[in-house]
C-alpha cells in the first residue's frame, strides 16, 4: 500500500495544434521550439505521449512550470498526466483515469528501461490524499477524508538541492526482492506495514502515531540500498531533528531530491531556516495540499489552444 498526498508543486503547460503533421514541437519557458518526431518516442516523453495519443502529431507544447529535475516529486509522471489530458482535449476526447495512468506508466517505463509504479500518476490525476492498494486483480484507489488543514500544518516538503535519479535505485531494490533477498524482503514488508500505520494515524488525526510510522518507513527504506541515504541526507536529517522535526524521510527513492518533514504546528519556520542554512541550494517546496487533480481548459484562440496543469505527489 502507498499513501500519497498531492502537493501544490505544479506542472503547467500550453498546447496547440500549430506544428506540421508528423511533428511535435516542444519548448520550456520562453525558449525556442525543439522539433520532435516519431524517431524521438524512445527517448523523449513529450514525443512519446503526444504521438501515442495523436499519431498524426501536429502539436506544439510549451511547458510553463514544473518541479525541479531530480526533486523526487514525480515531476515526469505529473508532466505526462497533464500532457496526455491536453492532447486528448485538442480532439475533444477523454480517457478514463485508470487507462490514462496505465498509458503514462508504460511510456515512462519504456523510456527509462526499468519498471515503474503508478503512485505519482494517481496523485496528479486525483489530487488530495490518495491511497493506492496493490491487490490481486488490480490497483484499488481510495481517497480518505482527512482534514487538509490539519495535515498541512504538520507537513513540509523541502527540496535539498541534491538531484537524484530514482529509476535505477528502485529497479535494483525490486530485483533483489524478486530474488528473495532476505534483507530487502523484510524492508519492503516493514515499509508496507508503516504505510498502513500511517493511514490509520492520519484517519484518527494522531500526529504522534503518524510521526512514528514515517520514522519506521524511513528506517526500513534506507536499508534497501546505500544510495538511499548518503551522508548529505543524513546530515540534513540531524539538522531537521535538532530544529524540532518529529520525523524525516526522503521522498521517492531518496539519495537527494526532496525530503518530507513531519513536525508540530508552528515549528515549520525554524526547521526550514535550519535546513536552508545547512543546504543553501535548497528551499521549501510545499507546505499545503493540492486538493484538485489535473485540470484542462481552453484558452484564447479556441478549441485547439489548451492549458493543462497537474500537482505533483509526495
Residue 241 shares a structural domain with residue 265: yes
Residue 167 shares a structural domain with residue 120: no
DSSP state string for 15-39: EES-SPBT-EEEEETTPPPEEE-GG
For residue 302, pLDDT over 70 is answered with no
**What does the pLDDT look like over 249-298, one tens digit per residue?**
999 878 889 999 999 999 999 999 999 999 999 999 888 899 999 999 98
C-alpha cell at 157: 516538503
For residue 314, pLDDT over 80 is answered with no
pTM above 0.85, yes or no: yes
Residue 72's beta-bridge partner residues?
A: none
**How many domains is the chain partitioned into structurally?**
2
Domain presence at residue 133: no
Domain presence at residue 140: no
Residue 166 shares a structural domain with residue 276: yes
Residue 83 shares a structural domain with residue 184: no
Residue 151 shares a structural domain with residue 251: yes
**What does the pLDDT look like over 79-95, one tens digit per residue?**
999 999 999 999 999 99
For residue 23, pLDDT over 80 is answered with yes
Predicted confidence at residue 306, as pLDDT, reads 78
Q: Please list the alpha-helical segments (H only) found in the chain.
A: 45-53, 75-90, 97-112, 119-126, 148-154, 166-178, 182-203, 207-221, 231-242, 268-278
Residue 251 shares a structural domain with residue 122: no
Listed in sequence order, the residues at least 6 apart from 208 whose beta carbon sits closer than 8 Å to its beta carbon are 246
Residue 277 shares a structural domain with residue 246: yes
Locate cell 503533421: which residue?
21
Give residue 240's domain range: 145-286
| 209 three-state secondary structure | helix
Predicted confidence at residue 70, as pLDDT, reads 75
Higher pLDDT, 162 or 182: 182
Residue 268 shares a structural domain with residue 309: no
Residue 299 shares a structural domain with residue 277: no
Residue 249 shares a structural domain with residue 196: yes
Residue 186 shares a structural domain with residue 113: no
**What does the pLDDT look like over 98-155, one tens digit per residue?**
999 999 999 999 998 888 889 999 999 999 999 999 889 989 999 999 999 999 999 9
Residue 309's beta-bridge partner residues?
A: 12, 295
Of 19-28, 200-209, 292-301, the range with the lowest mean pLDDT is: 292-301
Q: Could you tell me the pLDDT band of residue 163, with boundaries at 50, 70 and 90?
A: confident
Contact 303, 295 (CB under 8 A): no
> Across all residues in the chain, what is the average pLDDT?
92
Contact 1, 196 (CB under 8 A): yes
Residue 297's beta-bridge partner residues?
A: 307
Please give the C-alpha separations between residue 265 and each of 207, 223, 258, 271, in angstroms, as whole numbers: 10, 30, 20, 11
CATH number of the domain bearing residue 52: 3.30.230.10
CA 256 remoteness from chain centre: 14
Give the phi and the psi of residue 36 in degrees, each rounded to 5: -120, 160
C-alpha cell at 54: 495523436
Residue 227 shares a structural domain with residue 299: no
Amino acid at each position: 500500500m502507498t499513501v500519497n498526498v498531492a502537493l501544490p508543486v505544479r506542472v503547467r503547460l500550453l498546447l496547440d495544434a500549430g506544428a506540421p503533421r508528423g511533428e511535435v514541437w516542444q519548448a520550456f519557458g520562453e525558449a525556442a521550439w525543439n522539433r520532435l518526431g516519431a524517431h524521438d518516442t524512445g527517448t523523449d516523453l513529450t514525443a512519446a505521449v503526444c504521438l501515442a495519443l495523436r499519431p498524426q502529431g501536429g502539436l506544439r507544447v510549451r511547458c510553463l512550470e514544473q518541479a525541479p529535475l531530480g526533486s523526487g516529486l514525480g515531476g515526469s509522471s505529473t508532466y505526462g498526466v497533464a500532457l496526455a489530458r491536453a492532447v486528448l482535449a485538442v480532439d475533444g476526447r477523454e480517457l478514463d483515469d485508470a487507462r490514462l495512468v496505465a498509458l503514462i506508466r508504460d511510456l515512462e517505463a519504456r523510456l527509462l528501461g526499468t519498471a515503474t509504479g503508478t503512485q505519482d500518476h494517481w496523485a496528479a490525476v486525483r489530487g488530495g490524499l490518495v491511497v493506492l492498494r496493490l491487490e490481486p486483480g488490480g490497483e484499488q484507489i481510495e481517497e480518505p477524508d482527512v482534514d487538509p488543514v490539519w495535515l498541512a500544518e504538520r507537513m513540509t516538503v523541502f527540496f535539498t538541492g541534491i538531484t537524484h535519479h530514482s529509476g535505477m535505485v528502485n529497479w535494483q531494490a525490486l530485483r533483489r526482492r524478486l530474488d528473495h533477498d532476505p534483507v530487502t524482503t523484510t524492508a519492503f514488508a516493514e515499509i508496507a506495514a508503516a504505510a498502513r500505520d500511517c493511514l490509520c494515524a492520519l484517519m484518527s488525526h494522531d500526529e504522534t502515531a503518524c510521526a512514528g510510522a514515517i520514522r519506521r518507513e524511513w528506517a526500513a527504506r534506507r536499508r534497501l540500498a546505500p544510495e538511499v541515504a548518503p551522508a548529505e541526507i543524513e546530515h540534513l536529517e540531524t539538522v531537521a531533528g535538532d530544529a524540532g522535526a518529529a520525523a524525516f524521510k526522503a521522498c521517492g527513492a531518496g539519495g537527494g531530491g526532496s525530503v518530507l518533514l513531519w513536525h508540530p504546528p508552528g515549528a515549520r519556520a525554524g526547521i526550514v531556516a535550519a535546513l536552508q542554512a545547512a543546504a543553501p541550494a535548497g528551499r521549501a517546496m510545499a507546505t499545503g495540499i493540492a486538493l484538485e487533480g489535473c485540470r484542462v481548459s481552453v484558452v484564447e484562440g479556441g478549441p485547439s489552444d489548451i492549458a493543462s496543469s497537474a500537482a505533483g505527489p509526495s
